Structure 1
Amino acid sequence: MKASMTSFRALSLERFACALLMSALLCGGAFAQGSQTRIVGLVIDAQSGRPLQGINVLADDDAGTVTDRHGVFALSLPPGQRIVRLSAVGYGPQAKSIAVHADPSQGLVDTIRVSLTPRVIELADQIVIRATRDEPTAAHRAGHVMQTMKAIDAAQGVALVRRANFGLDPSIRGTQPHQVGVVIEGMKVFHACVDRMDPVTSYVETENLQRLEITRGAFDLTQGAAVGGMINLVTEKPSFDAAFSGHSQVGFESAASHRFSRNVFNLSRGDFALRSSISFRRAGDLTTGDRSRASGSPAPVLIPNSQFAKYNYKVDVTRRGRHHHFELGLLADEAWDIGYPALLMDARRASSHLAHVEHIWAPDQPLLSSVRTKLYLSDVDHWMDDEDRDVTQRRVMRDMHMPMEGHARTWGLLQSAQLGSQRQTLRFVLDAYQVQAFADMEMISVRPDVTPMYLVNIGDARRRHLAITADYQRWLTPRLQARANARVDAADQDLHDTIGRQQMKATWGAQDPAHRFATPSLSLTLVYRRSPSSSWTFGLSRSARLPTPLESYGFFLFTPADNYFYTGRPDLGVERSRQLELSWDYAHDGRRLTLRLYDNRIYDYITGVVQESIFKTYENIDAARLWGIEVGFATPLAAGLIIHGDASYTYGRNESFDEPLPFVPPLEARVGITHESPRVLWGVNSRWVTRQDRVADQTTLEDETPAFSLVDVRAEIRLWGHYRLDVGIDNLFDRYYWEHLSVGNFPSPGRNLRVGLEFGF
Structure 2
Amino acid sequence: MKTPLLLGALALAAVPVLAQQKAIPADSVRTIVLQEVAVVTKRHDHQQHLQNFYNANQAATTEELMSRMPELSFIRRGSYGMEPTIRAYSGGQVSVTLDGMRIQGACTDKMDPATIYIEPLNLQRIEVQTAGASSMQGAAIGGSLDMKLAEAELSDERKLSGSVSSGYQSAAHAMLGGLRLSYATPTWGLRASSTYRKAQNYRNGHGEKVLYSQYEKANYALNGKFLLQEDLVLKADLIIDDGWNIGFPALPMDVGQANARIGSVSLVRENSDRRWSRVEARLYANRIAHSMDDSARPDLPVRMDMPGLSRTSGMYLEGTTSPGHHQQLTVRADASASYLSASMTMYQEGQTPMYMLTWPDNRQLQSGIAAQYSFQVGDKTQLQLNSRVNLSDFAITTGEGRSQLSVFGYENTARQFVIPSLSLQASRMVYKKLKASLSGGFNGRTPTASELYGFYLFTQFDGFDYVGNPNMKSEKSLQSEFTLSWQEPRVRLQATGYVSRVQDYIVGTYDPNLSAMTIGARGVKVYDNTPYALLAGAEASAVYNITGYTQLVSTLRYNYGRNADGEPLPMIPPLRSITSLRKYFGDNLWVQGETELAAAQNRNSESFRERPTKAFMLWHLRAGYQRETENKVWQLNTGIENIFDVHYREHLDWGRIARPGRNVFVQVSMGF
**TM-score w.r.t. structure 1 length?**
0.79
CA contact (8 A) 1:145 1:151 kept: no
SS of residue paired to 1:239: coil
Mapped partners of 2:480, 2:523: distance in 1 = 37
Please tell me whether residue 726 in structure 1 is matched to residue 634 in structure 2: no
Task: Report the equivalent of 2:86.
Answer: 172
* 1:122 alignment partner, one of 6, 26, 45: 45
SS of residue paired to 2:111: coil
SS of residue paired to 2:511: strand
Please tell me whether residue 202 in structure 1 is matched to residue 147 in structure 2: no
Mapped partners of 1:623, 1:434: distance in 2 = 30
Please tell me whether residue 680 in structure 1 is matched to residue 589 in structure 2: yes
Task: Report the equivalent of 1:308.
Answer: 215
What does residue range 311-350 of structure 1 map to in structure 2 within 5 Å? 311-320=218-227, 321-350=229-258
Instruction: Report deviation, 1:697.
Output: 1.0
Task: Report the equivalent of 1:258.
Answer: 174
RMSD, matched Cα: 2.1
* 2:302 alignment partner, one of 393, 397, 400: 400
- Give deviations 1:679-732, integer Å, cap 9, x for gaps: 11221110111111100113x111111111111111111024210001121111
Mapped partners of 2:432, 2:45: distance in 1 = 16
* 1:217 alignment partner, one of 131, 139, 148: 131
Deviates more, 1:217-226 or 1:571-580: 217-226
Cα 1:752–1:178 shift into 2, 3 Å:
farther
* 1:163 alignment partner, one of 62, 77, 101: 77
Task: Report the equivalent of 1:644.
Answer: 553
Please tell me whether residue 189 in structure 1 is matched to residue 103 in structure 2: yes
- Give deviations 1:405-434, integer Å, cap 9, x for gaps: 000000010111211155001111011000
CA contact (8 A) 2:258 2:289 kept: yes
Task: Report the equivalent of 1:558.
Answer: 458
Mapped partners of 2:616, 2:650: distance in 1 = 9
Mapped partners of 1:122, 1:646: distance in 2 = 21
Instruction: Report deviation, 1:225.
Output: 2.4
What does residue range 41-56 of structure 1 map to in structure 2 within 5 Å? none
Task: Report the equivalent of 1:25.
Answer: none
Is there any run of 5+ residues in structure 1 with no aligned partner, and where? 1-82, 86-92, 95-118, 129-138, 291-298, 393-398
* 1:589 alignment partner, one of 473, 489, 493: 489
CA contact (8 A) 2:95 2:143 kept: yes
Cα 1:120–1:491 shift into 2, 3 Å:
closer
Instruction: Report deviation, 1:355.
Output: 0.2
Task: Report the equivalent of 1:358.
Answer: 266
Mapped partners of 1:639, 1:476: distance in 2 = 36
Cα 1:510–1:404 shift into 2, 3 Å:
closer
Task: Report the equivalent of 2:318.
Answer: 416
Structure ranking higher on relative contact order (CA contacts 8 Å, 6+ apart): 2
Instruction: Report deviation, 1:534.
Output: 2.6
Mapped partners of 2:139, 2:321: distance in 1 = 23
Task: Report the equivalent of 1:32.
Answer: none
Mapped partners of 1:577, 1:728: distance in 2 = 43
* 2:352 alignment partner, one of 416, 434, 451: 451
Instruction: Report deviation, 1:391.
Output: 4.0
**TM-score w.r.t. structure 2 length?**
0.89
Please tell me whether residue 468 in structure 1 is matched to residue 381 in structure 2: no
Instruction: Report deviation, 1:125.
Output: 8.0
Task: Report the equivalent of 2:293.
Answer: 385
Mapped partners of 2:317, 2:149: distance in 1 = 18
- AA aligned opposite 2:340: A
Count of residue pairs the alignment pairs up: 617
Q: Which has the larger radius of gyration?
A: 1
Task: Report the equivalent of 1:55.
Answer: none
- AA aligned opposite 2:226: R
Instruction: Report deviation, 1:638.
Output: 2.6
Instruction: Report deviation, 1:754.
Output: 1.2
Task: Report the equivalent of 2:328.
Answer: 425
- AA aligned opposite 1:727: T
- Give deviations 1:603-635, integer Å, cap 9, x for gaps: 100111111251001101010011112111121
- Give deviations 1:64-84, integer Å, cap 9, x for gaps: xxxxxxxxxxxxxxxxxxx9x
Task: Report the equivalent of 2:382.
Answer: 481
CA contact (8 A) 1:123 1:215 kept: no
Cα 1:125–1:267 shift into 2, 3 Å:
same
* 2:397 alignment partner, one of 496, 519, 523: 496
SS of residue paired to 2:136: coil
Instruction: Report deviation, 1:385.
Output: 0.7
Mapped partners of 1:342, 1:123: distance in 2 = 42
Mapped partners of 1:573, 1:141: distance in 2 = 40
Is there any run of 5+ residues in structure 2 with no aligned partner, and where? 1-24, 32-41, 513-521
Deviates more, 1:658-667 or 1:239-248: 239-248
Mapped partners of 2:495, 2:146: distance in 1 = 23
- AA aligned opposite 1:573: K
What does residue range 601-750 of structure 1 map to in structure 2 within 5 Å? 601-612=501-512, 614-655=523-564, 657-676=565-584, 677-698=586-607, 700-721=608-629, 722-750=633-661
Mapped partners of 1:159, 1:584: distance in 2 = 23
Cα 1:124–1:664 shift into 2, 3 Å:
farther
CA contact (8 A) 2:380 2:428 kept: yes
Instruction: Report deviation, 1:591.
Output: 0.5
